[in-house]
Amino acid sequence: SGARQAPWAAAAVLLGLAAATALVVLVRALAAQRTSVAPQLCAAPPRGVSAAEVGYIVDSCADDRDLFALVDEFAQQGLLEAKGSEDRPEVVLHKKADIPQTAPDYQRTFFQALFGKKQEFSFAHAGERFAQKLAEAKTQLAQHFDGENKLYQPGTAAASLVLPLLAAGLFLAGMVLAGGLLLAGGTALGAVSGACALGAVLVAHFGVYRWRFAARGTRLAFSIGAGLLLLCAAACAFFASLTALLPMWAVLGAAALVLAAAVLAPRFVKPTAYNNEISAQLLGLREYIEQDAAAGGKLTPEQGWALLPYAYVFGMTEEFCARFEADTAPVWYLCAWGWGLHGPAYMGHAMH
């Protein structure tokens, strides 16, 4: 009995700290002003914003797709061309000119990753050097959004993750101790409840960066995932409270505050004015591309090729290119099997 009661004080302190931290999160979240962004329908990307930068803005993450979109941009700038023959069934990039020194660091690094001192490159034979340069270019792309191009106001993004994680971590530790340690069932349920709370915090946090540009299915997946984690955390907390060393109201009260904080913490992630302005234009551009694809294609091929890198980072390559015939291939695409839907789809597959 004495051994079983020993952890109750520590459990009370931990759950109290968890509740207090969650309360701070809730106050900040409810006081935060939300900004909505309406799409500004436009037929061209924002001036001076590359497809790689658009890819980063979409999900606040520099990934391979963002850099690979530059291949189409480099081709349209006359820096390279894509070739492929029947006896060599792969897309080979051929260097046509050097990239200007005025180009952003991440673009010059990626161009160096493609060619280095060589005149041609194939994704099928990319080696360790390419992987290292690609990683460097992704780091530089993320750094591009510092200073005046920052997407979120300083401190808000970090606080929206650190504070609810701290609350959930304290809640996890408190729930384990509240189970009495010697009651395996109660301890396990408390641990599961705290772990699910941590998972809900992470899903909500990373979901907020993708929400603006996420498709309906992606939003539904985030919502269902977070909902299931919250439901599991609440259910386990309830059953753990039945045998806990602390009063049921204390356990369930702390659980309610922590789970509410997990849901509402993303509210005080505050986008910058630059983020709101550029996002409105990009949402409008994506809507324009979607409308053009749905209408069967009102764009000329030349207009379409200019937007191809942006359709690529939006994940709309096939829908966007399906309406173009093989004889409308861009001048930089010199593969024997033609263009049409096969060209961009094959290039995308080769780059991945």
Is residue 71 scored above 80 in pLDDT?
yes
Band of the pLDDT at 295, cuts 50, 70, 90?
A: low
Is residue 291 scored above 90 in pLDDT?
no
Listed in order, strand segments (DSSP E) in 192-241 are: none
Confidence (pLDDT) at 213: 85
Band of the pLDDT at 339, cuts 50, 70, 90?
A: low
* Cα 57 from Cα 37, distance rounded (Å): 14
Q: What is the DSSP string of 26-44?
A: HHHHHHSPP--------SS
Is residue 179 scored above 60 in pLDDT?
yes
Confidence (pLDDT) at 338: 55
Q: Which residue do the tokens 């099997």 mark?
A: 337
Q: Is 102 helix (H, G, I), strand (E, B) or coil?
A: coil
Q: Which residue do the tokens 């459990």 mark?
A: 11
Rounded (10°) angle between helices 64-76 and 301-313: 160
41 vs 337, more confident: 41
Band of the pLDDT at 186, cuts 50, 70, 90?
A: low
CB-based contacts of 83-88 (< 8 A; 24+ apart in sequence): 83/334, 83/335, 84/334, 84/335, 84/336, 84/337, 85/335, 85/336, 86/336, 86/337
250 vs 319, more confident: 250
- In this structure, the chain runs to a length of 352
* Cα 309 from Cα 7, distance rounded (Å): 59
Confidence (pLDDT) at 260: 95
Band of the pLDDT at 322, cuts 50, 70, 90?
A: low
pTM confidence score: 0.81
> Which of 38-42, 220-224, 282-286, 289-293 is least confident?
289-293
* Cα 164 from Cα 198, distance rounded (Å): 8
> Which of 26-30, 82-86, 194-198 is least confident?
82-86
* Cα 81 from Cα 59, distance rounded (Å): 29
Q: Which residues pair with 37 in a beta bridge?
A: none
Is residue 3 scored above 60 in pLDDT?
no
What is the mean predicted confidence (pLDDT) over 295-299?
A: 63
Give tens-digit pLDDT for 193-243. Answer: 999 999 999 999 888 888 888 878 888 998 999 999 999 999 999 998 888
What is the mean predicted confidence (pLDDT) over 327-342?
A: 60
Give tens-digit pLDDT for 113-158. Answer: 999 889 988 877 888 899 999 999 999 999 999 878 899 988 888 8
Q: Which residue do the tokens 């690529």 mark?
A: 312
* Cα 258 from Cα 198, distance rounded (Å): 10
What is the mean predicted confidence (pLDDT) over 307-330?
A: 74
Rounded (10°) angle between helices 301-313 and 342-351: 30
Q: What is the DSSP string of 260-321?
A: HHHHHGGGG--B-HHHHHHHHHHHHHHHHHHHHHHTT--S-HHHHHHHHHHHHHTT-HHHHH
